[in-house]
Structure 1
């Protein structure tokens, strides 16, 4: 019944019939998706479910840091049908208005300290002493590049929030200058370093840790960038990252973690892109997969670009009342 309902939904959208065996023939062609590394596991599963219903579609997934994904569109002019960012503000700041018209917020996450059983002092680490263990000169730590990946600048913001929370002067600087050789372009690149024992602890999203069956320490809500109730506290810290041009800098303030998705203006296959985004945002389809993999839904959420969202996708967003 669920399969039939989803097929009827797609049929209604594109207005063409399905085959008698219940498989859609109305959607076809390549669908190019640039997405955050932290979306690799859910995107793969959502794409598989979507193509099971739409076998004429060839989904091409390309994972990178969200900032890097945006720059592939803005600087390298690579064709892209959908961009899904680990930080919705990347779409707002780097793509809208020149390269995209709208942005839908769809999922949340939180920062954690991630490790394996092989990590040194893993039997000691807890929510109170994690930063002391990470500063041990015998311990190797890793993080993502702030200029490529939201997980990278969120590691910076978490370090600054930890300095406030634990009332430890210079804590952030101590964490951020340590083991800079272990900085990688995107957060999922760090997993290989962790699993091979080249690093002991990394700043990483909780969902990615769960998807890869890694150990992790949850951080207090005052630090983890998860809880909207601490919006003002999160906003009290910031860092600078590279902007739209080589000489431009963007000030990135802390705020609760929310993912965003859009279809670029020059998307080669907008029809299929719209159908895929609709599938992803539907509660008993894509969002059910997202939640099962540790990324709670925030659909529908308010967005400044509501008026520019395609009509069939407006039910998944809210208009900001002026």
Structure 2
């Protein structure tokens, strides 16, 4: 499912990443949730670091990064998770006051936050788009029988297939962009609009996954790591519209989506997660440590279903002295 150029394990993270990993003790993750966030409780306690992150990384921070980071540093990760568009809005209007900001769309963070809240970031992981499905539904059975997803999707009942809310979340607008690119790929006139008339837009990613798991929804357009988090069957979209192949960036860029609320136009681009420390952070030192930890522990990200190729981590802007890539 994953091409050789995209699949990464600890033998293929690149010499630079390996050097960093070797400077650290290999950490084991706890099965308990140590880094769970409580809404509205982003505080200034120096024994904690507050994170406002894209929702698709909730499980990654709570079960992988958070416990391991606290085990090494004694600093507790307190995370809150929303669609990345909503994350940017909360930072911009200061509804939330996080130390670390993490986006599922690297360009979105730069477009929205550079100049006022930060002037640097580090891309630390990649992902791919596809279909997470319930194998006990008619949709799932047909998918496992090898029928093309785009034919089955048009044959579903209204609401059987979920996507994220494209006005709140890159996961949502990437689904719309994937439909557009698939329409061109297969010569399916009107496919994007016909499918959008059928899908259910779910603003809450945990709720979207729960719907598929329970069978109340047949499937959802999700990231690979989300399916891994839930042990859910997953069919990766072809490279032409899975947003996982940097060499196809120009093709991805031919699909756009403009959000209703902010009027932000998102151009199709490879899925890249990036992180920065808020200029207004209460605990900037802890924030820098957490970003450095993301850089230095790619094995935890891979365990969580993300990918980390030789081109990552990759900095943009002028990094603070405390962060070394």
- Give TM-score, length-normalised by structure 1: 0.82
Could you say which residue in structure 2 is the equivalent of 1:190?
208
1:115 aligns with 2:151: no
Once the two structures are superposed, the pairs formed by residues 18-37 of structure 1 within 5 Å of their partners are 28-37=46-55
Is contact 2:124–2:314 with CA below 8 Å preserved after alignment? no
Moved more, 102-111 or 119-128: 119-128
Could you say which residue in structure 2 is the equivalent of 1:227?
245
Please give the alpha-carbon distance, in whole angstroms, between the structure 2 residues aligned to 1:3 and 1:204: 30
Deviations 1:127-171 (A, max 9, x none): 761011111143611110111111000001100010011111110
Cα deviation for residue 82 of structure 1 reads 0.4
Is contact 1:114–1:216 with CA below 8 Å preserved after alignment? yes
Could you say which residue in structure 1 is the equivalent of 2:303?
292
Is contact 2:126–2:271 with CA below 8 Å preserved after alignment? yes
Once the two structures are superposed, the pairs formed by residues 6-155 of structure 1 within 5 Å of their partners are 6=24, 28-44=46-62, 45-55=64-74, 57-125=75-143, 129-138=148-157, 140-155=160-175
Relative to structure 1, the CA distance from residue 4 to residue 104 in structure 2 (aligned partners, 3 Å threshold; closer, same or farther) is: closer
Deviations 1:195-253 (A, max 9, x none): 122211110001111221101212110111111121111111111015xxx5x412111
Please give the alpha-carbon distance, in whole angstroms, between the structure 1 residues aligned to 2:266 and 2:61: 26
Please give the alpha-carbon distance, in whole angstroms, between the structure 2 residues aligned to 1:31 and 1:74: 19
Could you say which residue in structure 1 is the equivalent of 2:272?
258
Please give the alpha-carbon distance, in whole angstroms, between the structure 2 residues aligned to 1:249 and 1:90: 13
Q: Which runs of 5+ in 1 are unaligned?
A: 8-26, 317-322
Please give the alpha-carbon distance, in whole angstroms, between the structure 1 residues aligned to 2:302 and 2:22: 23
Could you say which residue in structure 2 is the equivalent of 1:21?
none
Please give the alpha-carbon distance, in whole angstroms, between the structure 1 residues aligned to 2:21 and 2:120: 29
1:164 aligns with 2:184: yes
Look at both structures and tell me which one has the larger radius of gyration over its CA atoms.
Answer: 1
Please give the alpha-carbon distance, in whole angstroms, between the structure 2 residues aligned to 1:111 and 1:300: 19
Please give the alpha-carbon distance, in whole angstroms, between the structure 1 residues aligned to 2:137 and 2:290: 40
Is contact 1:42–1:290 with CA below 8 Å preserved after alignment? yes
Once the two structures are superposed, the pairs formed by residues 210-289 of structure 1 within 5 Å of their partners are 210-242=228-260, 246=261, 248-282=262-296, 285=297, 287-289=298-300
Cα deviation for residue 80 of structure 1 reads 0.4
- Give TM-score, length-normalised by structure 2: 0.81
Moved more, 58-67 or 165-174: 58-67
Cα deviation for residue 4 of structure 1 reads 11
